[in-house]
Amino acid sequence: MKETESIQTVDTNIKIPFWKAACFGLGDFGNNFVWTFVGSYLMIFYTDVFGIPMAAVSLLMLICRKTLLMARAGDAINDPIIGGLSDRTRTRWGRYRPWVLLMSFPTAIITVLTFWAHPDWSNTSKIVYMYVTYALLVFCYTGVNIPYSAMTSVLTQNTDERAKLSTMRITLANISIAGIGIIVIPMVSALGKGDAAMGYRLTAVIFVLIFMCCSAVVFATQKEVVPPPVKHKYPLRVQFKSMLANRPFLIAFCGQLLWGFFIHGRGSMYTYYFKYVQGDAGLMSLYNLVGLVPLVAGCYLFKAWYNVDGNKGRVTAYGCIGAGIAMILMRFTSPIGSPVLFYALCAISKFFEGVLASGIYGVIPDTVEYGQLKTGVRNDGFLSAFISLGNKFGIALGSAGVAAILAVLGFQANVTQTPLVSGTINNFFTVIPGILSVLCGIVFLFYKIDRKTFNDILSKLNDKVQSNDPDLV
């Protein structure tokens, strides 16, 4: 019997118990105690606590040797490397699980060091420290997140069960995202006792402990059942060619790029919006508290919506468009001047954000089998790497653009902003991410893998296995 035959006889149509799906979802719950904390609070930590001028931050994000974007650009190398290495990993625990556990340790250490800063350092020391720690953090986190994301496609080949995993993953992720938005400012204040630098440092320590525990749970409870391909050492050009021929994947990639741009770019503005536009940073906790239940509801109801519609991409599109319209309308409200309308729109936008967040990751695993059927190449980790890359470049472009524009307009930390600056911050919190969200929805309307199409793909793949098709690798 050929090796291909023996490998493919493993049952991959696995039903995932609720408890096991929840344990898988804890991975992204923990990941966001690093990623969201960094994405939402690192910029304001740099400007308002570490004492780096916004102009310097924007330069660090935009210009070669003085840029965090360069660290992001490094992901163009880092992400495919990590994806390729994890695809080729062979252990008794699978391809991806060991990465999730082992890379959590350096990620935790570097996260704490990223917030381990002293305002009395020279500007040069601050800039060097910022660049080095952030670049290391992005690299280490990639080693956790890409293998974790790739796991969805190897835990089961049942598209409904994959939807369950994605729903649970994003539900718990958004609980942690909202929770972080509620607790960070009070935690920094309480732990720092007037010393914001110490407050952020201790908050980082607590958050990375949560992150490491969640990574350990994922490792201990999950089992990879989809076997690796026999031929797994594909030349880089073959992997790229396979990826470019995978139209549903390219749609998912473009969606991740736009999503990273508007969601995380907007996230970096949360504290600025409430502190400098509304005059009270504490309102951010209330905003996230109001949005928590609708956000979780949207995440959880994604699967039910998909069960009715049958197309994950189309449901994702509805979520993007709904969230975008609500964000745009928020521009004309205020938590102080019109609180009822403002928080009603907050609840609506968060509900649709939950739907789109579940969907935007839910579509990805099914593109793996589509690509395998079309090109003969199965490369879960490599595709996850480029999804991550799209998201990261979106984040970089969003945060870099915001920082650069605010610097040009004359932003100064810890002072009353000019109407032009405060209005720009307002637009970056409402109108601009809203428009980008609608555009993201339009992209996902072109995603055509519905439930019937995916089952047909699996059937054709099984037929190839039975016939010992040499092109199936």
User: All domains of the chain, ordered by start, with CATH?
Assistant: 15-466 (1.20.1250.20)
Predicted confidence (pLDDT) per residue in 246-264, tens digit: 999 999 989 888 887 777 6
| Averaged pLDDT for residues 441-456 | 92
Identify the pLDDT of residue 437.
94
Which tokens in the block code for residue 319? 């979520």
Task: Determine contact, residues 188/13, Cβ cutoff 8 Å.
Answer: no
| Averaged pLDDT for residues 212-232 | 85
**Cα 443 from Cα 320, distance rounded (Å):** 10
Task: Determine contact, residues 174/296, Cβ cutoff 8 Å.
Answer: yes
Predicted confidence (pLDDT) per residue in 399-445, tens digit: 667 777 887 888 887 888 899 999 999 999 999 999 999 999 999 99
| Averaged pLDDT for residues 393-397 | 69
Report the range of poorest mean pLDDT among 43-52, 200-209, 265-274, 394-403. 394-403
**Cα 216 from Cα 27, distance rounded (Å):** 9
Identify the pLDDT of residue 435.
94
Between 381 and 323, the higher pLDDT residue: 323
Is residue 2 predicted with pLDDT exceeding 70? no
Give 412-451 as a DSSP string. Answer: -TTSPPPHHHHHHHHHHHTHHHHHHHHHHHHHHTT---BH
Is residue 70 predicted with pLDDT exceeding 60? no
Predicted confidence (pLDDT) per residue in 181-205, tens digit: 889 989 999 999 988 889 999 999 9
Predicted confidence (pLDDT) per residue in 35-49, tens digit: 889 877 887 888 888
Alpha helices in 103-158 (DSSP H): 104-114, 123-150, 152-155
Task: Determine contact, residues 302/362, Cβ cutoff 8 Å.
Answer: yes
**Cα 68 from Cα 71, distance rounded (Å):** 5
Give 224-236 as a DSSP string. Answer: --SPPPS-----H
Which tokens in the block code for residue 277? 């536009």
DSSP 8-state secondary structure symbol assigned to residue 469: -
